[in-house]
């Protein structure tokens, strides 16, 4: 594999050209919105499509190093726009468009704010998007929308003038919007080097248990992940293209409507590796009952990666139990860790022995209850990892600290946000905001610094409270929970738990509420300021499935949280629940 790294393409334009030449029979198949029929094109056809689009973007006045939003669903229109902008030397910025998954006006407002934040003049979107945005009064709809029809009707510039690919791998290739848990997403500057090295290094790590890169063992992959998320863009589009694999791409909404589709296509195409966040595996368990699992064949699935959010052992265990009778092997589940600021991958499990856990290090001052945490593996090639204390000092193995990363995949900075860049990126080291520890060189995540609750002087991770609540409500089955803190005058910060439920029975909810308070009180010595039940889907999440605790907290404080039923108050909870957080 050393030769592969010494001869990597310099930039994405060259990478696409090489894919067209080296893998003429490989390509991408994109399913329709229902996940049934698909349209397939080779990498050679994609190269021609993108080269032509680059000339037309140039004809429309799109310049080099100009950010342009791409707000299209997973489609060939998306491929034409995103790769066309790359070939032009502009910076594509993939974004979710308006659709059934969110209120249209709210999505248009988000697009408007993102465009303003990054100084984008134009967004590539559908005619329906343009019409609806105009109906809602958004100014960008007047002349800032490039539809596929407008692009294809534009007079092209000469190809030599249009294809302004760069030669420096350190130049910015595109902007990746972070799936931030609060506020407006930041635009992460991803370099050509990072966008190429990271997926190739990931391919090497994926194949480690088998003694060779995964692309030598596989022919294709199937993904439902959105292309505006780093796991979808880098892991499920760039990796197959760079390594010569076929990609079969489902739209996220098709998977969410019918999770079995993903597993059906995995089996029918004999897919060896495919990733998903924790909630994707959980959704398969919940939405594919035993009688609907018949006929699935998952025997070829050798690497089922799970990342993008905290990996829950109860979820991976439930998935294995549900699908092992259909050929799935528990050792195929392999946790990983990554984030947009690292291009994608930082660590991978390379042992291939299934999900492995350790007890979280004890210590009230560190703020972690004694729960099992999952190994996310070791750093990929050329990537370094360390844990740091709040004062910046480097911590030894076993000590919980902030995860910091360094390597070719680390981003150039946040576009037009020098303060945020300076605060997190120092001497090539990026402070992720994630908390974890190292054991035998492997990374174990425990939470995030910004989600810390500080109650009576004790640091408490919301994940610890949520695990206890979920142990009462079913471990993420019928009910899910989210925890955050609110200021209560002289009492200081107090904990609040919000629980999603599909059960509207007040008596049952009251009983569950009492059990949650008792479990948290007796285990952690933590009284709850409030316990609120809401309908499923009311806890906001990012595109990758991470809970947006900050947004949920704001809804709670604003009184806009749609309460289904209030849990018992502290007065109704047993008096032995405790008043101080325990060790």
Higher pLDDT, 179 or 396: 396
From CA 315, how far away is CA 441, in angstroms rounded? 25
Radius of gyration of the chain (CA): 24
Location of structure tokens 């709850």:
528
**Both structure tokens of 378:** 């070791």
- Check residue 294 and give its pLDDT: 96
Q: What is the mean pLDDT of residues 427-438?
A: 94
Q: Give the model confidence (pLDDT) of 142-157 as tens digits.
A: 789 999 999 999 999 8
CB atoms within 10 A of CB 130: 20
Q: Give the model confidence (pLDDT) of 68-105 as tens digits.
A: 999 999 999 999 999 999 999 999 999 986 544 345 67
Q: Give the model confidence (pLDDT) of 40-64 as tens digits.
A: 999 999 999 999 999 999 999 999 9
| pLDDT exceeds 80 at position 569 | no
Higher pLDDT, 510 or 102: 510
Location of structure tokens 């967004």:
123
- Check residue 179 and give its pLDDT: 54
Domain segments of the chain as ranges: 2-331, 453-577
Instruction: Establish how many alpha carbons lie within 13 A of residue 430's alpha carbon, considering only the half-sphere containing its beta carbon.
Output: 24
Q: Give the model confidence (pLDDT) of 208-252 as tens digits.
A: 999 999 888 888 999 999 999 999 999 999 999 999 999 999 999
CB atoms within 10 A of CB 463: 23
- Domain 453-577 class? alpha beta
In the beta sheet, which residues pair with residue 387? 403
Parallel/antiparallel/unpaired status of strands 345-348 and 333-338: antiparallel
- Check residue 1 and give its pLDDT: 44
- Check residue 568 and give its pLDDT: 58
Residue 552 confidence class, pLDDT cut points 50, 70, 90: very high
Higher pLDDT, 471 or 223: 223
From CA 199, how far away is CA 356, in angstroms rounded? 24
Looking at the chain, the whole-number percentage of residues with pLDDT higher than 70 is 87
Fold of 2-331: Rossmann fold (3.40.50)
**Average pLDDT value for the chain:** 87
């Amino acid at each position: 594999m050393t030769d592969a790294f010494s001869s990597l393409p310099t930039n994405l334009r060259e990478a696409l050209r090489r894919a067209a030449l080296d893998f003429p029979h490989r390509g991408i198949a994109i399913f329709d919105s229902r996940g049934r029929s698909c349209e397939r094109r080779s990498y050679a056809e994609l190269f021609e499509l993108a080269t032509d689009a680059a000339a037309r973007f140039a004809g429309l006045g799109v310049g080099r190093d100009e950010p342009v939003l791409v707000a299209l669903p997973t489609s060939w229109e998306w491929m034409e726009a995103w790769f066309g902008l790359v070939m032009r030397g502009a910076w594509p910025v993939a974004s979710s468009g308006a659709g059934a998954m969110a209120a249209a006006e709210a999505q248009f407002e988000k697009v408007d704010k993102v465009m303003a934040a990054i100084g984008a003049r134009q967004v590539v979107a559908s005619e329906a998007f343009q019409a609806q945005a105009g109906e809602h009064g958004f100014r960008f709809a007047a002349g800032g929308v490039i539809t596929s029809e407008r692009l294809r009707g534009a007079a092209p510039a000469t190809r030599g003038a249009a294809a302004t690919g760069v030669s420096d791998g350190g130049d910015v290739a595109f902007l990746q919007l972070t799936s931030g848990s609060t506020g407006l997403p930041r635009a992460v500057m991803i370099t050509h080097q990072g966008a190429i090295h990271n997926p190739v290094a990931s391919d090497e790590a994926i194949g480690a248990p088998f003694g060779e890169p995964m692309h030598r063992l596989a022919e294709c992959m199937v993904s439902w992940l959105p292309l505006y998320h780093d796991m979808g863009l880098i892991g499920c589009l760039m990796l197959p293209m760079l390594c010569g694999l076929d990609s079969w791409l489902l739209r996220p909404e098709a998977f969410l409507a019918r999770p079995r589709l993903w597993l059906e296509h995995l089996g029918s195409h004999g897919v060896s590796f495919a990733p998903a966040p924790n909630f994707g595996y959980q959704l398969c368990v919940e939405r594919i009952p035993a009688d609907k699992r018949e006929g699935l064949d998952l025997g070829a699935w050798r690497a089922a990666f799970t990342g993008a959010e905290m990996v829950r052992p109860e979820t991976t265990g439930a998935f294995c139990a549900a699908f092992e009778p259909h050929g799935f092997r528990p050792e195929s589940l392999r946790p990983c860790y990554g984030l947009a600021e690292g291009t994608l991958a930082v660590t991978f499990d390379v042992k291939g022995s299934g999900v492995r856990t350790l007890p979280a290090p004890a210590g009230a001052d560190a703020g972690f209850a004694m729960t099992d945490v999952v190994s996310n593996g070791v750093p990929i090639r050329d990537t370094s990892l360390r844990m740091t204390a709040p004062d910046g000092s480097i911590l030894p193995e076993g000590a919980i600290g902030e995860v910091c990363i360094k390597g070719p995949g680390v981003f150039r900075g946040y576009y037009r946000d020098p303060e945020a860049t300076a605060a997190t990126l120092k001497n090539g080291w990026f402070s992720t905001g994630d908390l974890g520890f190292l054991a035998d060189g492997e990374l174990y995540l425990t939470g995030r610094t910004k989600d810390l609750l500080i109650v009576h002087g004790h640091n408490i991770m919301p994940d610890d409270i949520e695990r206890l609540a979920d142990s009462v409500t079913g471990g993420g089955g019928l009910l899910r929970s989210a925890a955050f803190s609110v200021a209560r005058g002289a009492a200081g910060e107090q904990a609040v738990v919000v629980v999603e439920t599909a059960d509207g029975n007040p008596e049952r909810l009251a009983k569950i509420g009492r059990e949650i308070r008792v479990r948290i009180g007796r285990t952690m010595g933590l009284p709850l300021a409030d316990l609120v039940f809401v309908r499923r889907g009311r806890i906001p999440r990012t595109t990758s499935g991470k809970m947006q605790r900050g947004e949920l907290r704001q809804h709670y404080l604003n009184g806009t949280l749609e309460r289904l039923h209030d849990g018992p108050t502290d007065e109704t909870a047993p008096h032995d629940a405790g008043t101080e957080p325990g060790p």
